[in-house]
Amino acid sequence: NLTQRLAKVVKTMRGEARLTEANTAEMLREVRLALLEADVALPAVREFIGKVKEKALGEEVLSSLTPGQALVGVVQRELGALMGADLGPEATQLSFAQQPPAIILMAGLQGVGKTTTVGKLAKYLREEKKKKVLTVSADVYRPAAIAQLQSVTGQVGADFFPSTAQDKPVDIALAALDWAKKHYHDVLIIDTAGRLGVDEEMMKEIAAVHGAVKPVETLFVVDAMLGQDAINTAKAFNDALPLTGIVLTKLDGDSRGGAALSVRHITGKPIKFAGVSEKLDGLEAFDPTRMASRILGMGDIMALVEEARKGVDAKAAADLAAKVKSGGKFDMNDFKAQLGQMKKMGGMSSLVDKLPAQFQQAAGGANMDQADKQVRRMVGIIDSMTPAERAKPELIKATRKRRIAAGAGVQVQEVNRMLNQFEQMQTMMKKLSGGGMMKMMRSMKG
Ligand code: GDP
Ligand code: MG
């Protein structure tokens, strides 16, 4: 499972102040695999990984993050940018010609959702933009295609310009344009034929329609379920037509939508809309950031990082850090607070494997089944101490040890072991600066 794999890498990289070739290599390998699993075409994957590397190397790691988390941040940001986040929300807007009607030409293979999208766009333009919309079908190869467009147009209450399979696509488009001008339509949407594969004749035909009516928007419709092949299809259409935008359909399916990256890689054109249902209200403005998370399958990772932040009682950590930094001594009360913190974050068994190696030893070896019980006993031992003993554990000599052991219902050796562990922890605390402390507390779960 990808999320688990990434989570593992996020955890193993920590305690380093800068992203380097070495501490990002494994993570980048996972990202590359994630993209390939999402069916992103190889050239697009290569370009993206190269870009992330360039941006990430040398980047400073905030003290509140592990390098793994920092790299996840870079990957998300760069993929978001590649998806169009930097273009701003205007990128998802349609252009309208100065002189109506604004013509929208639909392009793409058969079955990707062109005709359905015409219906969705007509509905959106009528209801949201208050436009008077006319649709026309230049799909003269399948008579059913014309009837299908008539049906969806009727469902959304737009106007339909009838055509027949005997007409030529260019003539159909010009006749519809003429009609739209005469009847003051704001928008004319031209649906076209698609083939199962890229086809020379089809490309010539749609290029001819484009040349005849000069659409203000030429939208390439692509199925999000399309895998590696998306890149070839996008290239063919991009070479044949000056595309102005992309519509990514069938995002309600379970594909990760790697086609989005492939298509952006080849065309550089903004993805304007996402189709999210067969129904005619299933059209959304494209959301680059959400798409980036989906492609990486990293929604869970970010949630995990968030969860970790919440799990650590930030104030307690900050108080302790301030105390240690200002020369204050790490005492039994602090130790108990830390043990409590660990319990809050899911118990020793889930935590010990995430701790730095030194702490793993301090936690008493590999038997994690025993670890949680041990933590509870340690807390019990601390509870049996007097406030003076907790503040100054060096007071605890033989007599006091016996009393504490009896109070906690444990053997004296266990009190000794616990005091040893405390001392190790105390030494560790002395070494850590305030920032280091915060980082350690957070990295326990990160
Ligand atoms: P065209 O050949 O490009 O015109 O494709 P159609 O518009 O006829 O759509 C082909 C199939 O895909 C139909 O069954 C549509 O209902 C379906 N479809 C189109 N867009 C979407 C979408 O966003 N989500 C889902 N689930 N199905 C869609
Ligand atoms: Mg169609």
**Mutate which of 116, 219, 254 for ligand 1 pocket (most atoms within 8 A of beta carbon):** 116
pLDDT of residue 308: 47
For 2-88+299-305, CATH number? 1.20.120.140
Map residue 110 onto helix, strand or coil. coil
Please write the tens of the pLDDT for every residue from 363-376. 444 455 566 777 78
Instruction: Say which DSSP state 42 is in.
Output: H
Q: How far is the CA of 108 from the centre of ligand 1 (A)?
A: 12
Map residue 131 onto helix, strand or coil. coil
ipTM over 0.85: yes
pLDDT of residue 324: 62
Does residue 112 have its Cβ closer than 6 Å to ligand 1? Answer: yes
For residues 423 and 76, what is the distance between their CA atoms, to the nearest angstrom? 42
Give yes or no for a contact between 141 and 277, defined as CB atoms under 8 angstroms apart: no
Does residue 119 have its Cβ closer than 6 Å to ligand 1? Answer: no
Q: How far is the CA of 248 from the centre of ligand 1 (A)?
A: 11
Does residue 276 have its Cβ closer than 6 Å to ligand 1? Answer: yes
Does residue 252 have its Cβ closer than 6 Å to ligand 1? Answer: yes
CA quadruple 232, 237, 239, 245: dihedral sign: negative
pLDDT of residue 359: 44
What is the third-level CATH fold of 313-443? Answer: 434 Repressor (Amino-terminal Domain) (1.10.260)
CB contact set of 332 (below 8 Å; sequence gap of 6+): 382, 385, 389, 390, 391, 393, 422
Q: What angle separates helix 67-83 from helix 21-37, to the nearest 10 degrees?
A: 50
For residues 46 and 19, what is the distance between their CA atoms, to the nearest angstrom? 20
Which contiguous run of DSSP H or E holds residue 78?
helix 67-83
Give yes or no for a contact between 198 and 144, defined as CB atoms under 8 angstroms apart: no
pLDDT of residue 353: 45
- All structural domains of the chain with their residue ranges: 2-88+299-305, 89-287, 313-443
Q: Which CATH number fits domain 89-287: 3.30.930.10, 3.40.50.300, 3.30.1330.10, 3.90.1150.10?
A: 3.40.50.300
| Among protein residues, the one whose CA lies closest to atom 16 of ligand 1 | 278
Q: Which residues of the chain have pLDDT under 50?
A: 300, 303-312, 348-361, 363-366, 433-441, 443-446
Q: Alpha carbon of 347 to those of 168, 343, 379, 444, 446: distances in Å?
A: 72, 4, 13, 11, 15
Candidates 118, 112, 119, 27; CA nearest to 67 is 27
Q: How far is the CA of 197 from the centre of ligand 2 (A)?
A: 14
